[in-house]
Amino acid sequence: MTRPLLEVIALGVADAAAAEDGGADRVELVTDMDADGLSPEPSVVEDIRSRTNIPLRVMLRLSDTFSATGAEVTRLRGLASSYVSAGADGFVLGFLTGTLEIDQETTGALVEEFPDRPWTFHRAVDHALEPDRAWSALRQLPGLTHVLTAGSPRGVEAGLDDLTRRAKSDPFATDRIMAGGGLRAEHVPWLAQAGIRAFHVGTAVRPDRSWKAYVDAGYVRAWRTLVDDEVARALDLLSTGAVKESGTGTER
């Protein structure tokens, strides 16, 4: 079994180091969580890479909206190049049009700048007017490996049913959903049983669930154990169900 993915939001070097110590697979580097995550300075990427070996995806976003002007796209291209030079492994980005559809033109223009780098479409997808249409548009974007989604703009608690339904019905989504946005421990069993294998945490691995606190390696380690155990349990249940189905031809 391939180990499920655990990604941690990092705001700086200390967070990335703690995420690595706790067993996270990757960090998403951002700044300014008051704006739900913006692009950091390239020097922070360089500092993290000099201190850790953990895979690192960097946010490409300059404002607290899900749109970007032509000037912003130009600046983001430059930042992307700087991030690669500083040691970034991939990126996190995604834009919507004024009518709340996936902005394939803007997103694609940036993706073309780093064709050899994997990337995540962030939670802009949760704000799309028509989710099914949004997911259809995501299929057209090259290099996309994960879609960070809570299933709802209000977070996983509100979007859990939609997340599990999509994961069970759409193989493309199953392979790319990274559940995050207010993710809590009690959500993980349901998500794992729906086939989701990637999980994203931020305040859940910080004391008092506060962005003012650094990531705690012990909290990350607890999430590592939780995610691994629940995915293994889900696979065991799936295997057991398959055995029953083949044995009787009636049990589902």
- 90-126: pLDDT as tens digits: 999 999 999 999 999 999 999 999 999 999 999 999 9
Give the percent of the chain with pLDDT over 90: 92
pLDDT at 53 over 90: yes
Mean pLDDT over residues 145-163, rounded? 97
Q: Tell me the pLDDT band of 238, cut-offs 50, 70 and 90.
A: confident
Global pTM?
A: 0.93
What CATH architecture does domain 5-248 belong to?
Alpha-Beta Barrel (3.20)
Comparing C-alpha atoms, which of 6, 68, 5, 74 is closest to residue 38?
68
Q: Tell me the pLDDT band of 240, cut-offs 50, 70 and 90.
A: confident
Comparing C-alpha atoms, which of 202, 197, 157 is closest to residue 176?
197
- Looking at residue 4, what DSSP letter applies? P
- Residues 8 and 215 sit within 8 Å (Cβ to Cβ): yes
Two structure tokens written together for 13: 């070097």
Question: What residue spans define the domains of the chain?
Answer: 5-248
**65 CB contacts (<8 Å, ≥6 apart)?**
none
**154 CB contacts (<8 Å, ≥6 apart)?**
none
**C-alpha to C-alpha distance for 150 and 114, rounded to whole angstroms:** 26
Tell me which of 42 and 2 has the higher pLDDT: 42
Q: Tokens 């939609």 identify what position?
A: 162
Mean pLDDT over residues 59-88, rounded? 96
